[in-house]
Every structure is written in C-alpha cells, then in structure tokens.
Amino acid sequence: MTKEEFKEARKRLGLTQRELGDALGLDSQTISRLERGEHGIKETTAMALESLLPSERHRPGPRRKAGRRSK
C-alpha cells in the first residue's frame, strides 16, 4: 500500500488521523508520518486499515422504487 492509498483510505472512511490511529492502535503522529512517507507501511497495518473499509462485494446496488413491476 502506498502512502497515497493509505491517506485515501482514511479519507474514504471519513476519519481524522487521530481517529484512524485509535482504530489501528497507533498515535496520530505515526499516521501522519505514514501518509507523508516518512515510515514504511507495514503489511499488518495495511491489512488492518483495509479491514475497516467496506467490501466492494457487499456494497448495496441502486435501490428500486417500490410499487408495481413493469411488464
């Protein structure tokens, strides 16, 4: 996972660096350093972050309007 992917994932989750740090057991300074590329992102950290993201397979599709079916 690149630093850009890491930061984008945090933003998709709508979390601050502090909130993501809390979720991953890291401090906000470490999250900031990871996003700036000052530290390498460990595979375990990347996997933990990815586990917080909604799965593409489980995203709901477009909703259908209730009512009669067309023939």
C-alpha span between 70 and 67 (Å, rounded): 9
pLDDT band at residue 13 using 50, 70 and 90 as cut-offs: very high
Number of helices followed by number of strands (H, E) in the chain: 4, 0
Q: Does residue 42 have a pLDDT over 80?
A: yes
Structural domains of the chain ordered from first start: 3-54 (1.10.260.40)
Mean pLDDT for 35-46 is 96
CB contact set of 54 (below 8 Å; sequence gap of 6+): none
Smallest CA-to-CA distance from 21 within 13, 8, 30 is with 30
